[in-house]
């Protein structure tokens, strides 16, 4: 269909429709309201259903219901609204229900503001809800990458019977870029013979629940979940590296910040400082391999984030003491500029005396 110019939020919605998402339950909140509005218009066109819930809590539980019938279903929100969904997300994992949940992060904590941020990193990667669980988190950096990752997200969710989170920021949601909705063959996925669609004399009732009162039984269920998480850690890692082969310094950044950092990296290279960049695409599972491959060769890693320093902890774990790890970030809705990041690199590389 060729390229179209769209807003990030709209691209997320259209990509979900392309991935076969038929149901959306949500509640508007800036800076992702365009996503909700787009779904309201678009889903009826494809025979789906959009429902604006009375709250985010209601929306995530509607997702639970729709997912229980085997349907592809999605919800989205931004930071404060996403916090409200945590109980429901924990229930989805406990009940082994697939769903895609989108968080277009804004400045926090609390009501904060509506400007771009990445300060929900801990919440999405370490489990914002209760219990021993993990959720694959994908962080696109461009609107074209959204198309690819939303399809991946629905496939991963179905394959493991687990929710998947898409994490963006207000900038990604609000910006426009050309995108092309590429069709790709449907992935081979296990049949949803667990879905509660009514018995037709073909077996016993299908029970979907996260409740297990017997301790040994619940431990067994947890072991089963942990096995799935281990498999995700092995198979669902995604990342990109740029110019890390000869790098003395490596910036680590994800989402839109990686693009800003890339400009700074290129400028520093022009000025003779060998800088590379690792861009985690899956924030969980966090990509360890590109760090293991580089950590005995580089002088330092610099984690650049729109937060007070959250991903930097995973960077330190991956580097595991083999090299120093520094941090540069802005938060509260302030976006780091390429000039600031460049300045940080040059200071570390000894190019600027302060």
Partner 1 sequence: MLEEIIIAGFGGQGVMSMGQLIAYAGMLEGKGVSWLPSYGPEQRGGTANCAVVVSDEPVGSPLVTKPTTAIVLNNPSFDKFESKVRSGGLFIVNSSLVTRTADRKDITNIEIKATDLANELGNSRVANMILLGAFLEYTKIVTMDSILESLKKVLGPDKYHLIEVNKQALEKGASLLMEKTI
Q: Kindly state the smallest distance separating residue 331's Cβ from partner 1, in Å.
A: 16
Q: Which of 46, 111, 176, 292 binds partner 1 (CB under 8 A)?
A: 176
Is 338 an interacting residue with respect to partner 1 (CB under 8 A)? yes
Do the Cβ atoms of 103 and 73 come closer than 8 Å? no
Do the Cβ atoms of 63 and 92 come closer than 8 Å? yes
Q: What is d(CA 107, CA 342) in angstroms, rounded to the nearest whole number?
A: 24
Toward partner 1, which CB reaches closer, 73 or 171?
A: 171
Q: 63 to 122, contacts with partner 1 by CB under 8 A?
A: 113-115
DSSP characters over 252-266 = E--HHHHHHHHHHHH
Backbone angles phi, psi at 298, to 5 degrees: -95, 160
Is 211 an interacting residue with respect to partner 1 (CB under 8 A)? no
Q: What is d(CA 265, CA 267) in angstroms, rounded to the nearest whole number?
A: 5
Of 129-137, 173-181, 212-220, 281-289, the segment contacting partner 1 by CB under 8 A is 173-181
Q: Kindly state the smallest distance separating residue 142's Cβ from partner 1, in Å.
A: 8
Q: What is d(CA 218, CA 214) in angstroms, rounded to the nearest whole number?
A: 6
Q: Kindly state the smallest distance separating residue 346's Cβ from partner 1, in Å.
A: 17
Is 46 exposed, middle or buried, given 0-12, 13-18 or 19+ CB atoms closer than 10 A?
A: exposed
Q: Kindly state the smallest distance separating residue 3's Cβ from partner 1, in Å.
A: 6
Q: 10 to 39, contacts with partner 1 by CB under 8 A?
A: 30-31
Is 241 an interacting residue with respect to partner 1 (CB under 8 A)? no
Nearest to 147 by CA among 21, 18, 279: 18
Q: Which two tokens stand for residue 41?
A: 């218009």
Q: Which of 109, 178, 190, 217 binds partner 1 (CB under 8 A)?
A: 178
Q: Kindly state the smallest distance separating residue 291's Cβ from partner 1, in Å.
A: 23
Q: How many residues bind partner 1 (CB under 8 A)?
A: 24
Toward partner 1, which CB reaches closer, 131 or 178?
A: 178
Q: Which of 76, 77, 174, 282 binds partner 1 (CB under 8 A)?
A: 174
Q: What is d(CA 322, CA 279) in angstroms, rounded to the nearest whole number?
A: 19
Residue spans of alpha helices (H) in the chain:
8-18, 33-42, 56-68, 79-84, 86-94, 121-126, 143-160, 170-174, 215-235, 255-270, 289-294, 311-319, 338-348
Q: Which of 131, 227, 339, 352 binds partner 1 (CB under 8 A)?
A: 339
Contact pattern from residue 280 through residue 319 relative to partner 1, giving x for each residue in contact according to CB under 8 A and a dash for the rest = ----------------------------------------
Toward partner 1, which CB reaches closer, 32 or 61?
A: 32
Q: What is d(CA 275, CA 279) in angstroms, rounded to the nearest whole number?
A: 13
* CA torsion angle 88 283 110 86 (round to 10): 10
Residue with tokens 């016993």: 204
Toward partner 1, which CB reaches closer, 218 or 334?
A: 334
Is 259 an interacting residue with respect to partner 1 (CB under 8 A)? yes
Given the rule CB under 8 A, which residues bind partner 1? 3, 5, 30-31, 113-115, 170-171, 174-178, 256, 259-260, 262-263, 266, 335, 337-339
């Amino acid at each position: 269909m060729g390229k179209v110019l769209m807003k990030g939020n709209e691209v997320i919605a259209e990509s979900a429709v392309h991935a076969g998402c038929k149901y959306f339950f949500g509640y508007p909140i800036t800076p992702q309201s365009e996503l909700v509005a787009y779904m309201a218009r678009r889903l009826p066109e494809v025979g789906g259903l959009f429902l604006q819930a009375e709250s985010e809590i209601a929306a995530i539980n509607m997702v639970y219901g729709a997912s229980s019938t085997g349907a592809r279903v999605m919800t989205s929100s931004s930071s404060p609204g996403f916090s409200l969904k945590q109980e429901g997300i924990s229930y989805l994992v406990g009940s082994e229900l697939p769903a895609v949940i989108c968080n277009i992060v804004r400045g926090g904590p609390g009501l904060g503001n509506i400007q771009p941020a990445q300060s929900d990193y801990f919440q999405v990667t370490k489990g914002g809800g209760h219990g021993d669980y993990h959720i694959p988190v994908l962080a696109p950096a461009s609107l074209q990458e959204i198309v690819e990752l939303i399809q991946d997200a629905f496939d991963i969710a179905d394959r493991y019977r687990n929710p998947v989170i898409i994490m963006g920021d207000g900038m990604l949601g609000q910006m426009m870029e050309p995108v092309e909705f590429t069709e790709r063959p449907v992935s081979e996925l296990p049949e949803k013979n667990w879905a509660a669609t009514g018995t037709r004399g073909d077996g016993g009732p299908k029970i979907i629940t996260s409740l297990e009162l017997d301790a040994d039984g619940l431990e067994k269920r947890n072991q089963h979940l942990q096995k799935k998480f281990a498999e995700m850690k092995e198979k669902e890692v995604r990342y990109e590296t740029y110019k890390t082969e000869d790098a003395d310094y490596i910036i680590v950044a994800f989402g839109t910040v990686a693009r800003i950092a890339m400009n700074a990296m290129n400028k520093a290279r022009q000025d003779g400082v060998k800088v590379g960049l690792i861009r985690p695409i899956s924030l969980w599972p966090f990509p360890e391999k590109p760090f293991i491959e580089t950590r005995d060769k580089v002088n330092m890693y610099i984690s650049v984030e729109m937060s007070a320093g959250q991903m930097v902890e995973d960077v330190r774990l991956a580097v595991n003491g083999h090299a120093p790890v520094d941090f540069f970030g802005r938060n509260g809705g302030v976006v780091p500029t390429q000039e600031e990041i460049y300045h940080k690199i040059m200071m570390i590389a000894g190019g600027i005396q302060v």
